[in-house]
């Protein structure tokens, strides 16, 4: 029964890891992975010392940090609001509405955003024109895209993330709420004294896991939503889009492998450090 799933995981997850050694080689197609010359850490040095590295680092960290903060806060707020709904049918309806974007591909989301922000016939510029306000060249102004990407990512992930927090709230002992109401506590006090403390552990765990991926941006979000417009690279170019360009356009597999491995190693270190800090503060909220 388990043989097929194990084989699939091995073939598609573990076997490709052989390619990691390309990060330490001067890969040549005619020599193959194992026949190419070893270059040690030269590929890492080339990548880190390149002019693009600091821009990629800043964009990846800033965008991911903002997305972690906003998406977590939005998901917790939505979970609390749904939990406070008395009608379960309404709760299920709103859960369905908010979860639906999770199943829409980034390609489709990119076209949805484009339909709003198209400079010529987009919905937003059409409304601005109707109100006799100046139209905006959305795909030519880089700084506008930090909030656009954060809002888009939050819209797409808020539903699925809120399910985790909502499930945690459903597991809270009902007697706690009854005792609080008997003591005259209102909804705000119940939220402050019972709901948020109960959510603290799962929020911490989810944040630790998110920090582990802080160097690994969502490729679909940063490639399809800004439509790979070069003018927006100062804020939308991240490690994952850079790796893709190195492979597809520049055919530089060495740098791509080095950048990808660097992402994984730094992400692992971030998880370990964050979890260690949480362990020192409150071991009950740590991941392990």
3-state SS, 7-37, equals: HHHHHHHHHHHHHHHHHHEEEECCCHHHHEE
* Average pLDDT of span 253-280: 88
Domain assignment present for residue 5? The answer is no
| Region class of 62: left (phi > 0), else alpha (psi between -120 and 50), else beta | alpha
The per-residue pLDDT for range 79-122, each reduced to its tens digit, is: 999 998 888 889 999 999 999 999 999 999 999 999 999 998 89
Rounded CA-CA distance 93/51 in Å is 49
Structurally, how many domains does the chain consist of? 1
Read off the pLDDT band of 1 (50, 70, 90): low
* Average pLDDT of span 270-288: 81
Q: Structure tokens of 200?
A: 């603290």
Average pLDDT value for the chain = 90
Q: At residue 173, does pLDDT exceed 80?
A: yes
Q: At residue 142, does pLDDT exceed 70?
A: yes
The per-residue pLDDT for range 38-90, each reduced to its tens digit, is: 999 999 999 999 999 999 999 999 999 999 999 999 999 999 999 988 888 89
* Average pLDDT of span 263-283: 85
Q: What is the pLDDT of residue 252?
A: 84
Identify which of 274, 237, 244 has the alpha carbon closest to the alpha carbon of residue 259: 244
Q: Tell me whether residue 223 is exposed, middle or buried, using C-beta atoms within 10 angstroms of its C-beta: 0 to 12, 13 to 18, 19 or more.
A: buried
CATH number of the domain within which 151 lies: 1.10.3720.10
For every residue of the chain, which 3-state class applies, written as one string? CCHHHHHHHHHHHHHHHHHHHHHHEEEECCCHHHHEEECCCHHHHHHHCCCCHHHHHHHHHHHHHHHHHHHHHHHHHHHHHHHCCCCHHHHHHHHHHHHHHHHCCHHHHHHHHHHHHCCCCCHHHHHHHHCCCCCCCHHHCHHHHHHHHHHHHHHHHHHHHHHHHHHHHHCCCHHHHHHHHHCCCCHHHHHHHHHHHHHHHHHHHHHHHHHCCCCCCCHHHHHHCCCCCHHHHHHHCCHHHHHHHHHHCCCCHHHHHHHHHHHHHHHHHHHHHHHHHHHHHCHHHCCC
The per-residue pLDDT for range 211-229, each reduced to its tens digit, is: 888 888 999 999 999 999 9
Domain assignment present for residue 98? The answer is yes
pTM of the model: 0.88
Residue 21 contacts residue 33 (beta carbons within 8 Å): yes
Domain that holds residue 189: 36-285
* Average pLDDT of span 154-163: 94
């Amino acid at each position: 029964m388990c043989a097929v799933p194990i084989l699939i995981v091995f073939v598609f997850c573990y076997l490709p890891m052989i390619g990691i050694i390309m990060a330490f080689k001067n890969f040549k197609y005619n020599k193959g992975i194992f026949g190419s010359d070893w270059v040690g850490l030269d590929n890492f040095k080339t990548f880190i010392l390149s002019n693009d590295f600091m821009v990629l680092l800043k964009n990846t960290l800033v965008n991911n940090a903002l997305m972690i903060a906003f998406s977590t806060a939005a998901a917790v707020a939505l979970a609390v609001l749904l939990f406070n709904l008395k009608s379960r049918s309404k709760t299920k309806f709103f859960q369905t509405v908010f979860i639906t974007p999770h199943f829409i591909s980034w390609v489709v989301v990119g076209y949805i955003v484009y339909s709003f922000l198209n400079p010529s016939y987009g919905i937003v510029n059409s409304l601005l024109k109707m109100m006799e306000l100046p139209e905006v060249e959305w795909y030519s102004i880089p700084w506008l895209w930090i909030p656009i990407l954060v809002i888009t990512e939050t819209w797409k992930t808020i539903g699925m993330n809120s399910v985790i927090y909502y499930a945690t709230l459903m597991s809270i002992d009902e007697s706690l709420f009854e005792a609080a109401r008997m003591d005259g506590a209102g909804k705000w006090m119940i939220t402050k004294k019972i709901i948020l403390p109960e959510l603290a552990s799962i929020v911490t765990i989810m944040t630790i896991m998110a920090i582990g991926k802080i160097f690994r941006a969502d490729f679909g979000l940063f490639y399809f939503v800004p439509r790979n417009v070069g003018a927006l690279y100062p804020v939308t170019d991240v490690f994952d889009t850079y790796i893709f360009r190195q492979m597809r356009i520049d055919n530089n597999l060495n740098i791509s492998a080095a950048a990808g491995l660097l992402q994984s190693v730094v992400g692992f270190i971030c998880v370990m450090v964050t979890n260690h800090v949480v362990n020192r503060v409150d071991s009950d909220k740590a991941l392990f």
